[in-house]
């Protein structure tokens, strides 16, 4: 590093790494240049989709304005098919027209691209990050599948089995919350993060399922920490505007599940 | 203080191979512990109680599960040598997208090639080739999926190459005839020491398939 006389010189606080030290309590990381974070942001999605809700919360947390391009239920736009030719699914984030697909991947992209805006969405330690990713994968591959099965279950035996599976999953997540949050309100600590978003995005559908099944899926007696967390999550200003209203979602669910099963 | 790194693994697992390769790329010494999947050890059940699956990476006593999560973890813990993921956020998102695609698609269709018969097997073969062609198209004329450097997506896919001879035999077709560019990519990867050390001989996989089928009770 070149020697510089610092008599009379102020510390350059706008230097990315130094700014990072001062504004974030976690380990410093290279701040992204303004160039990387600039460019129009669009999100292809639908109001009812929990997967779409994820990047919306992330963009809100980072105070990034975006254009929400709503897909019509039952059809796929040209833009969607062009932007996600592999899966043809929502959400798709378009940043300066470059597509990013898969909700959890989009959330990480948002966190990395707008790293100097708002708190970090992932923990700073590699082990804690691995845990967050592990539980996010579990939520999508197992927990959500069990939730979906609730609506499909027919007959007492099947219903009992689905309930047991779901409650087992909830018990795991209750413990995961205690381990990850370390006494703070969110999985990510003081602020909503990747794992909070991954699970929280399902809360509206969970409520709709509770109504349809007449069964309390998130029970204060069984999972007190998760219930408290759900309250905090739903009341967060980054979440409230994009969380579907239960009544509206219930009506939508009736409509789409009224169709004969394929 | 030296790092203690243990890998609970199963030699034919294309998922375990990913973690082996990542550790080798980083020159990390690890204790490889072969697991019996039909008689799961107490340590496996303790370290991966949720899924009870391999591979499990145990770093200084703490377990990390899921192979691609392990690869990313290894890249973050040992960042100085051979970065496995790009530093640019957009490139990283693309790499993760393809890793996720490989996870969602390749194993399921491949399983039908050695595990199914008749129409089901034919459907599996067709889908498998389509998936490989999608990957081939993504690879394009690049040396590796990430471009000039070997990385995450290559690691996600290369383990399956050790099973190609078995797929060819049991599927009665030739993957190379359908996807020559992908085979060329695979041969480039196998030239890397980390990959050569981590992949089993293809003929051992061919011998293993009937044993596997017996274990899971098919044919």
Give the pLDDT score at A259: 56
Instruction: Report how far Cα A233 is from the mean position of its chain's Cα atoms.
Output: 11
Q: Do B70 and A109 touch (CB under 8 A)?
A: no
Q: Please state, in angstroms and rounded to a whole number, the distance separating the CA atoms of residues B70 and B51.
A: 15
Q: What is the pLDDT of residues B111-144, one digit of tens each?
A: 999 999 999 999 999 999 999 999 999 999 999 9
Determine the average pLDDT of the residues in A154-171. Answer: 91
Percent of chain A with pLDDT over 70: 85
Give the pLDDT score at A2: 44
Is-contact B121 B179, C-beta < 8 A?
Answer: no
Percent of chain B with pLDDT over 90: 98
Contacts of A91 in chain B (CB under 8 A): none
Determine the average pLDDT of the residues in A120-131. Answer: 97
Determine the average pLDDT of the residues in A45-66. Answer: 98
Band of pLDDT at residue B100, cut at 50, 70 and 90:
very high
Band of pLDDT at residue A41, cut at 50, 70 and 90:
very high
Q: Is the minimum CB–CB distance between B156 and chain A shorter than 8 Å? A: no
Contacts of B134 in chain A (CB under 8 A): 86
Q: Is the minimum CB–CB distance between B69 and chain A shorter than 8 Å? A: yes
Give the pLDDT score at A150: 84
A33 burial level (CB within 10 Å; 0-12, 13-18, 19+): exposed
CA distance B201 to chain A (A): 31
Q: Give CA angle at B36 (B31, B38), nearest 5°.
A: 160
Q: Please state, in angstroms and rounded to a whole number, the distance separating the CA atoms of residues A57 and A116.
A: 17
Q: Please state, in angstroms and rounded to a whole number, the distance separating the CA atoms of residues B100 and B94.
A: 10
Q: Does pLDDT of A128 surpass 80? A: yes
Smallest Cβ–Cβ distance between A36 and the set B59, B62, B89 belongs to B89
Determine the average pLDDT of the residues in B172-187. Answer: 98
Band of pLDDT at residue A156, cut at 50, 70 and 90:
confident
Contacts of A84 in chain B (CB under 8 A): none
Which residue ranges form the domains of chain B, and what is each CATH number?
A: 5-77 (3.40.30.10), 89-216 (1.20.1050.10)
Contacts of B77 in chain A (CB under 8 A): 126
A227 burial level (CB within 10 Å; 0-12, 13-18, 19+): middle
CA distance A180 to chain B (A): 14
Q: Please state, in angstroms and rounded to a whole number, the distance separating the CA atoms of residues B175 and B171.
A: 10
Mean pLDDT of chain A: 88
Which residue ranges form the domains of chain A, and what is each CATH number?
A: 32-113 (3.40.30.10), 126-256 (1.20.1050.10)
Q: Is the minimum CB–CB distance between A126 and chain B shorter than 8 Å? A: yes
Q: Do B89 and A109 touch (CB under 8 A)?
A: yes
Q: Is the minimum CB–CB distance between B92 and chain A shorter than 8 Å? A: yes
Determine the average pLDDT of the residues in B174-202. Answer: 98
Q: Is the minimum CB–CB distance between A112 and chain B shorter than 8 Å? A: yes
Interface ipTM above 0.95: yes
Q: Please state, in angstroms and rounded to a whole number, the distance separating the CA atoms of residues A88 and A70.
A: 14
Name the residue with higher pLDDT: A3 or B7: B7
Q: Do B93 and A134 touch (CB under 8 A)?
A: no
CA dihedral for B10, B11, B13, B18, sign (positive or negative): positive
Mutation test of the interface with chain B: which of A126, A145, A146, A172, choosing the one with the most B Cβ atoms within 10 A? A126
**Stretch among A178-192, A205-219, B46-60 having the lowest mean pLDDT:** A205-219
Q: Please state, in angstroms and rounded to a whole number, the distance separating the CA atoms of residues B131 and B147.
A: 20
Smallest Cβ–Cβ distance between A129 and the set B76, B90, B100 belongs to B76
Determine the average pLDDT of the residues in B40-65. Answer: 98
Give the pLDDT score at B193: 98
Is-contact A56 A153, C-beta < 8 A?
Answer: no
Determine the average pLDDT of the residues in A246-252. Answer: 95
Residue of B nearest to A95 (CA): B90
Alpha-helical (H) ranges within chain B are: 14-25, 42-47, 67-77, 89-115, 118-139, 152-158, 164-171, 175-178, 180-190, 193-198, 202-216
Q: Do A109 and B92 touch (CB under 8 A)?
A: yes
Determine the average pLDDT of the residues in A220-242. Answer: 98
Q: Does pLDDT of A43 surpass 60? A: yes
B46-70: burial string, b at 16+ Cβ within 10 Å, e else: ebbeeeebbbbbbbeeebbbbbbbb
CA distance A76 to chain B (A): 21
Q: What is the pLDDT of residues A163-184, one digit of tens each?
A: 999 999 999 999 999 999 999 9
Please state whether the predicted TM-score (pTM) of the whole model is above 0.80: yes
Give the pLDDT score at B219: 72
Contacts of A126 in chain B (CB under 8 A): 73, 76-77
CA distance B136 to chain A (A): 13
A87 phi-psi bin (left φ>0, alpha ψ -120 to 50, beta other) = alpha
Three-state secondary-structure class, residue B71: helix
Q: Please state, in angstroms and rounded to a whole number, the distance separating the CA atoms of residues A244 and A249.
A: 6
CA distance B100 to chain A (A): 9
Give the pLDDT score at B1: 58
Bond before B55 cis per omega within 30 degrees: yes
Q: Please state, in angstroms and rounded to a whole number, the distance separating the CA atoms of residues B84 and B28.
A: 14
Q: Do A112 and B92 touch (CB under 8 A)?
A: yes
Q: Is the minimum CB–CB distance between A28 and chain B shorter than 8 Å? A: no
B139-149: burial string, b at 16+ Cβ within 10 Å, e else: beeeebbbeee
**Stretch among A215-219, A227-231, B120-124 having the lowest mean pLDDT:** A215-219
A160 burial level (CB within 10 Å; 0-12, 13-18, 19+): exposed
Backbone angles phi, psi at B177, to 5 degrees: -65, -35
Backbone angles phi, psi at A92, to 5 degrees: -130, 125
Residue of A nearest to B67 (CA): A134
Q: What is the pLDDT of residues A3-32, one digit of tens each?
A: 444 444 444 444 444 444 444 444 444 444
């Amino acid at each position: 590093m070149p020697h510089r006389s610092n008599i009379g010189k102020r510390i350059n606080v706008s230097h990315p790494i130094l700014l990072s030290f001062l504004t974030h309590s976690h380990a410093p990381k290279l701040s992204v240049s303004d160039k990387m974070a600039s460019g129009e942001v669009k999100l292809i999605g639908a109001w009812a989709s929990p997967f779409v809700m994820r990047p919306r919360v992330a963009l809100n947390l980072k105070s990034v304005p975006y254009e929400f391009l709503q897909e019509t239920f039952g059809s796929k736009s040209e833009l969607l098919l062009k932007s996600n030719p592999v899966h043809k699914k929502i959400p798709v984030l378009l940043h300066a027209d470059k597509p990013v697909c898969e909700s959890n991947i989009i959330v990480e992209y948002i966190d990395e691209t707008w790293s100097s805006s708002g708190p970090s969405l992932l923990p700073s330690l590699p082990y804690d990050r691995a845990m967050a990713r592990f539980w996010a994968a579990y939520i999508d591959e197992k927990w959500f599948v069990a939730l979906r099965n609730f609506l499909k279950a027919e007959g007492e035996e099947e219903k009992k089995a689905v309930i047991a599976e779901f409650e087992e999953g909830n018990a795991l997540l209750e413990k995961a919350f205690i381990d990850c949050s370390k006494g703070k309100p969110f999985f990510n600590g003081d602020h909503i993060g990747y794992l909070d978003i991954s699970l929280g995005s399902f809360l509206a559908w969970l409520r709709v399922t509770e109504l349809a099944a007449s069964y309390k899926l998130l029970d204060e007696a069984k999972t007190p920490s998760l219930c408290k967390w759900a309250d905090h999550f739903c009341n967060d200003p980054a979440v409230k505007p994009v969380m579907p209203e239960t009544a509206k979602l219930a009506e939508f669910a009736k409509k789409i599940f009224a169709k004969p099963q394929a | 203080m030296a790092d203690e790194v243990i890998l609970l693994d199963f030699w034919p697992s294309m998922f375990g191979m990913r973690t082996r390769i990542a550790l080798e790329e980083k020159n990390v010494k690890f204790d490889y512990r072969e697991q019996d999947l039909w008689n799961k050890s107490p340590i496996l059940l303790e370290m991966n109680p949720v899924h009870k699956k391999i591979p499990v990476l145990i770093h200084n006593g703490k377990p990390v599960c899921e192979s691609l999560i392990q690869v990313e973890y290894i890249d973050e813990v040992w960042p100085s040598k051979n970065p496995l993921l790009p530093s640019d956020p957009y490139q990283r998102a693309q790499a993760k997208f393809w890793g996720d695609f490989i996870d969602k698609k390749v194993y399921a269709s491949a399983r039908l090639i050695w595990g199914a018969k008749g129409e089901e097997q034919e459907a599996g073969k067709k889908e498998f080739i389509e998936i490989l062609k999608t990957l081939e198209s993504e690879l394009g004329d690049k040396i590796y999926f990430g471009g000039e450097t070997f990385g995450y997506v290559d690691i996600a896919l290369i383990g399956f190459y050790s099973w190609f001879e078995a797929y060819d035999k049991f599927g009665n077709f030739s993957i190379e005839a359908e996807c020559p560019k992908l085979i060329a990519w695979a041969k480039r990867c196998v030239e890397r020491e980390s990959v050569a050390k981590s992949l089993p001989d293809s003929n051992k996989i061919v011998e293993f398939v009937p044993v596997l089928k017996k274990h899971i009770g098919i044919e």
